[in-house]
Structure 1
Amino acid sequence: MPKVLIADKMSNRAVEVFKARGVDVDVITGLSKDELMKIIGEYDGLAVRSSTRPDAEIIGQATNLKVIGRAGIGVDNVDIKSATDRGVVVMNTPFGNAITTAEHAIAMLFAAARQIPKASERTQNGEWPKSDYKGTELFNKTLGVIGCGNIGALVAERALGLKMKVIAFDPYLTEERARKIGVEKVELDTLFQRADAITLHTPLVESTKNIVNRERLGMTRKGLILVNCARGGLVDEEALKDALDAGHVSAAALDVFSIEPAKEHALFGTPGFIATPHLGASTNEAQENVAVQVAEQMADYLLTGAISNAINTPSITAEEAPRLKPWVDLADKLGTMMGQLLHEPAKSIQITYKGGITQLNTNPLSAAALAGMLKAAMPDVNMVSAPVLAKERGIELTESYVNEAERADSLIRITVETAVRKFAIVGTIYRGEPRIVRLFGVPMDAAFSPSMIYVRNDDKPGFIGEVGRVLGEAKTNIATFSLGRKKEGGEAVCLISVDGMVSDATVAAIQAIDQVKIVDRVTL
């Protein structure tokens, strides 16, 4: 039974989901880093919110960990690279609190435009400061949305309902998508120059850190309203204070800060400034939604291999997982064999899918093939880390699709190009078992086995007898013997499945046979 640790406070519905699905679960919150490191090795899954920070040291101690689930959107508290290197899938829940966060952003926009918190405070203190608060009407104003993904689009939809004009910057936003949600796509500097109000809905990464800085604030219209309900660190808080003090920014509402909890801050008390303590996702509905969603996603992965909303690996639906499993196994075996038969670095890898398999989700298959390929040089590589490692090493991956397949309903072809040559291996699934149907241009029909001998030889009489003699003298039992050739008397390929490992002396004896050109061992 898989075992999961819930390390941050979340709705008890998560526990109910895990138990109902047959996953063992412990709830231990408030752990120090050292305390977490001592116990993390016991768990297959770790569910967190924003308090627990699984870094490289913690992940390094997580010997059984397979998945980290973040109940929420932002994953900057998780060391994605370390998780990827260790083959740990990192998931978030991008939809569970989207509406709640969007509503909070709109609420903050209204509060800033009318200075509601300060007016309320003074009124309740016995004042009647009606003349001190002349707010800003949002009707017909231009709202700039930085980050127009799920939450940004929901904010835009609500702003359009208020009859605001909405412009958006997002490097992944297409013109077609912009038109569909009713916003105008603009460049970042243009957004700062045109917007009457700006709201942030982008993750915190290197390229977005301090995206609202002193220079860009200087581009804005006098009287700007700024709202940040996304991530702390997106706003240069010192520059914002200066802009508020100068009256250039009329109001700012922050739900997140670069350092949290922000119990003391230079912005506190600044005229026009509103703060809330990271409440974007804090509604009963959102808390339950993200808890249920993260538990369902983690349980699906641990029990069936289904992957949803993963940050560092392709998604696989629960329906796809059983159908993909044999093809993932085939892709891994083809890649592993190719990796062991190559003796120089790969420059490029092309994976071609033919026939019915083109209708499946092939992303996991490509990841499995890459992992198999790289295994010979990097034993710790896995499906999660393989695409990243290949890219880091300058290996170009391309995928292609052909509707018709020869000799089978579906085929996977892996072609690898090195500095000096090009090789290809083709496989299929036949009666539920992975098979090799072509190897380095030679047609054949061979099963995979844990220990195999690959031989490239001249197609001349006496070869099979000589190989049998060598293996017999080495007391190595032959399980299967598969042959293929391009033409009579030409080059042939042989795959021999044997029981047990093959010694260096046996390989050398096979190499010494007259007809033999190349001998290699393959271990799966």
Structure 2
Amino acid sequence: MPKVLISDKLSPAAVEIFRARGLETDFKPGLSAEELLDIVADYDGLAIRSATKVTKEVLAKAKNLKVVGRAGIGVDNVDTAAATSAGVVVMNTPFGNAITTAEHAIAMMFALARQIPAADRSTQDGKWEKSKFMGVELTGKRLGLIGCGNIGAIVAERARGLKMRVAAYDPYLSDDRAAQLGVTKVELDELFAEADIITLHTPLTDATRNIIDAGAIQKMKAGVRIINCARGGLVDEVALRGALETGHVAGAAFDVFVEEPAKENVLFGAPNFIATPHLGASTTEAQEKVALQVAEQMSDYLLTGAVTNAVNMPSVTAEEAPLLKPYMKLAENLGAFTGQVIGSAIKSVAIEFEGQAAEINPAPVVAAALSGLLKPTLASVNMVSAPVEAQARGIAVTTIKHDRPCDYQTMLRVTVETGERTRSMAGTLFAGTLPRLVDVQGIAIEAEFGDHMLYVRNYDKPGFIGSLGSALGDAGVNIATFHLGRREEGGEAVALVEVDSAVGEDLLAKVKALPNVARVDALKF
């Protein structure tokens, strides 16, 4: 039977589930890195929380390891790329902590508004400084949410119950979903200017890193309060310290920090600053829930091959995997293409199945398309969480199967509608397994998906190909493949160029400035 190691503190119920399912289980929390390296080769499954670091070295030693299960949402302590290369499935429990994290943010808001930690210390020190701790009411205050997904929506619901006025900035929040939640959609600068309290509920990506920096703080009203129970790195800690010192920011409450464990931090000791040691998920109920979930998921995979809540492979049954895997890859690529060029909030997504594709199970393929579509903004999204994230943002998802004749033996089409435009991409499978793009906005084109690609919308005029090639050559960027399509002679056209390295902003600007170029995007697959 498979053998599982639990190397972090999990609920005893998790051990009971593993053993009841027939898996040999060792419970050894607190292993050092060296001790883990010594024994990990003996195990098929590794159940962890945040303390165990699953590094390349660990994975290299873990010759029998098939699955890593993280009881919680974050997999920052797992080298997912190395795990994928080693054929190890990485699972998490993305929704078990939502309520408890939202409640912690609300608790921090109360503590900040009434200076509860400082007042408690003062009183227990024998002082009675009643006039010193003048608080503010939450009723009627404007709460600004940066991120209104699963956790942000729960915070909004609780805040509205406190009679707060809630505004939200989230590129994927639709008007309908905002209305359903009773929140006002705003742009980021408007949120900064109007919010009395700002709370962050977004993943840490290149787009959100230091989303609150010195410039953003200057745009905020004097006396604003800031709460971060999401991820360290969303706020420039040095800039915030300065604003707390001057009083422009009246207070801040953080559960997360750029470096953890945070034994030292520039914010410690700042006026009206409250800190907790990453307690967002630390409730009895949440820990029990995620422990049970990870034990069930890992047992299912090791015993039946079923994959649930995987961050590095599709969640499908073992029987479906060989057939569905190439379709899911094609759908993810079509979604990723659209997600990288869409540029505004998504209202609806339609995934169409034609030819042989109309006969397959669409659910994992739709999930793969949504994962690709949302990943440019939500870095941690996966095939399991993508449908929930889409629902949380009010994105209408439609699955359509056609029995009409198809130009290809099998074909998928992803159509995304925003408030401004509609974009449509279609693809097929060559030789049954190789994803190919065959249609971009009604323009026929046949192109494989490369790691790095340049997408150019242009007008079909003489000299374009030469000028584009020269621009790339002058920048030292090698062209791997070059694909063209056009509506009509001299009309709107598309160029898809696979290149050997990423294209920087300077080169993008030079390509955009070429004659007859309408737009250019750097794509990554």
Q: In which range does the TM-score fall when normalised by the shorter chain?
A: 0.5 to 0.7
Tell me the CA shift for residue 170 of structure 1: 2.4
In structure 2, the partner of 1:150 is 150
Q: What residue in structure 1 maps to residue 235 of structure 2?
A: 235
Aligned residues: 365
Cα displacement string for residues 133-171 of structure 1 (whole angstroms, at most 9, x for unaligned residues): 211111111111122221111111101111111112223
1:263 aligns with 2:263: yes
Which position in structure 2 is the counterpart of 1:277?
277
Task: Give the match for residue 31 of structure 2.
Answer: 31
Superposition deviation, residue 190 in structure 1: 2.5
Q: Separation in 1 of the partners of 2:155 and 2:301?
A: 32
Q: How does 1:234-253 map to 2 (within 5 A)?
A: 234-253=234-253
Q: Secondary structure at the match of 1:132?
A: coil
Q: Give the whole-Å Cα distance in 1 for the aligned partners of 2:183 and 2:76.
A: 28
CA distance in 1, matches of 2:85, 2:10: 28
Once the 2 structures are TM-superposed, how far is the Cα of residue 229 of structure 1 from its aligned partner?
1.2
Contact 1:413–1:424 (CA<8 Å) still a contact in 2?
no
Task: Determine if the alignment matches structure 1 residue 160 to structure 2 residue 160.
Answer: yes
User: Are the structure 2 counterparts of residues 147 and 264 from structure 1 closer, same or farther at C-alpha, using a change threshold of 3 Å?
Assistant: same
Q: Which residue identity is paired with 1:302? A: L
| 1:324 correspondence with 2:320 | yes
Q: Does the 8 Å contact 1:222/1:248 carry over to 2? A: yes
Aligned residue type for 2:17: V
- Return 322-331 or 150-159, whichever deviates more: 322-331
Unaligned runs of 5+ in 2: 329-351, 370-382, 384-398, 413-427, 434-525
Once the two structures are superposed, the pairs formed by residues 6-17 of structure 1 within 5 Å of their partners are 6-17=6-17
Q: Does 1:219 align with 2:215?
A: no
5 Å matches for 1:367-446? 402-404=401-403, 413=410, 425=431
Structure 2 residue identity aligned to 1:126: G
Structure 1, 262-271 or 244-253: larger mean CA deviation: 262-271
Cα distance, 1:19 vs structure 2:
1.2
Q: Secondary structure at the match of 1:8?
A: coil
2:359 alignment counterpart: 357
1:166–1:183 CA contact under 8 A, matched in 2: yes
Q: How does 1:28-107 map to 2 (within 5 A)?
A: 28-107=28-107
The answer to whether the 8 A contact 1:331-1:412 is kept is: no
1:281-300 equivalence runs, <5 A: 281-300=281-300
Change (3 A) 1:304 1:188: farther
In structure 1, what residue type is equivalent to 2:250?
A: S
Contact persistence 2:149–2:201 (CA under 8 A): yes
1:391-437 CA-partner distances (Å, limit 9, x unpaired): xxxxxxxxx9754499xxxx98489xxxxxx995569xxxxxxxxxx
CA distance in 2, matches of 1:173, 1:197: 20
Give the 3 Å change call, closer, same or farther, for CA 177–21 of structure 1 in structure 2.
farther
Shift in Å, 1:366: 8.8
Describe the SS at the equivalent of 1:118: helix
Deviation, 1:85, is 2.8
Q: Deviation at 1:314?
A: 2.6
Cα offset for 1:323?
A: 5.8
Alignment partners' CA distance in 2, 1:15 and 1:412: 49
Contact preservation (8 Å) 1:351, 1:366: no
- Tell me: CA distance 1:128–1:362, structure 2 relative to 1, closer, same or farther (3 Å): closer
What is the Cα deviation at residue 356 of structure 1?
A: 6.5
Runs of 5+ unmatched residues, structure 1: 333-349, 368-383, 385-399, 416-421, 428-524
Q: How far apart are residue 123 of structure 1 and its match?
A: 1.3
Report the counterpart of residue 373 of structure 2 in structure 1: none
Aligned partner of 2:200: which letter? L
Change (3 A) 1:168 1:86: farther
Find the aligned partners of 2:106 and 2:255 in 1 and give their Cα distance: 12
Secondary structure at the aligned position of 2:286 is classed as helix
Tell me the distance in 1 between the aligned counterparts of 2:51 and 2:227: 23
Instruction: Give the residue type in structure 2 aligned to 1:296.
Output: E
Larger Rg: 1
Q: Give the Cα–Cα distance (whole angstroms) in 1 for the partners of residues 73 and 120 of structure 2.
A: 32
| Matched AA of 1:5 | L
Q: Distance in 1 between matches of 2:318 and 2:404?
A: 22
Deviations along 1:229-281, whole A, 9 cap, x unmatched? 12222222111111100001101111122222223333222221111122111
User: 1:328, 1:365 within 8 Å by CA — same for their partners in 2?
Assistant: no
How many angstroms apart in 1 are the aligned matches of 2:312 and 2:275? 33
Distance (whole Å) between structure 2 residues aligned to residue 412 and residue 365 of structure 1: 22
TM-score for the superposition, normalised by structure 2 = 0.63
Deviations 1:80-128 (A, max 9, x none): 2222333322222122222111111101000001101111111121111
1:352-390 alpha-carbon deviations (Å, 9 max, x no partner): 5537734443539999xxxxxxxxxxxxxxxx9xxxxxx
The Cα shift of 1:331 comes to 7.9
Q: Distance in 2 between matches of 1:194 and 1:120?
A: 31
C-alpha distance in structure 1 between counterparts of 2:135 and 2:211, whole Å: 27
Distance 1:102 1:27 in 2: 30
Whether contact under 8 Å (1:5, 1:47) holds in the other structure is yes
What is the CA deviation profile of residues 163-205 of structure 1, one whole-angstrom value per residue up to 9, with x for unaligned ones?
A: 1111122233233322222222222233222211111122223
Q: Could you tell me how far apart the structure 1 residues matched to 2:198 and 2:219 are?
A: 13
Whether contact under 8 Å (1:354, 1:404) holds in the other structure is: no
TM-aligned CA distance change 1:281 to 1:425, over 3 Å: closer
In 2, the alpha carbon distance for the partners of 1:233 and 1:193 equals 22
CA distance in 1, matches of 2:150, 2:65: 29
Is 2:327–2:365's contact at 8 Å kept on the other side of the alignment? no
Quickly say closer, same or farther: Cα 1:304–1:34, change in 2 above 3 A.
same
1:179 maps to: 179
Provide the secondary structure at the position in 1 that maps to 2:356.
strand
CA deviations over 1:316-363 (Å, ceiling 9, x no partner): 3xxxx266257459989xxxxxxxxxxxxxxxxx99553773444353
Distance 1:31-1:186 versus aligned 2 partners, 3 A rule: same
What amino acid is the match of 2:269? Answer: G
User: Is residue 20 from structure 1 mapped to residue 16 from structure 2 by the alignment?
Assistant: no
Using a 3 Å threshold, how does the CA distance of structure 1 residues 34 and 110 change in structure 2: closer, same or farther? same
User: SS of the residue aligned with 2:94?
Assistant: coil
Distance 1:402 1:352 in 2: 6
Separation of aligned partners in 1, 2:226 and 2:327: 50
Mapped partners of 1:11, 1:362: distance in 2? 31
Measure the CA separation in 1 of the matches of 2:144 and 2:60: 42
Larger deviation, residues 20-29 vs 216-225: 20-29
SS in 2 for 1:160: helix
* Contact 2:245–2:271 (CA under 8 A) maintained in structure 1: yes
Cα separation, partners in 2 of 1:279 and 1:351, compared to 1, 3 Å: same
Q: Distance in 2 between matches of 1:353 and 1:303?
A: 34
- Paired residues of 2:315 and 2:364 also in contact (CA < 8 A): no
Q: What is the root-mean-square deviation in Å for CA atoms of aligned residues? A: 3.2
Shift of 1:44: 2.2
AA partner of residue 210 (structure 2): N
| TM-score normalised by structure 1 residue count | 0.63
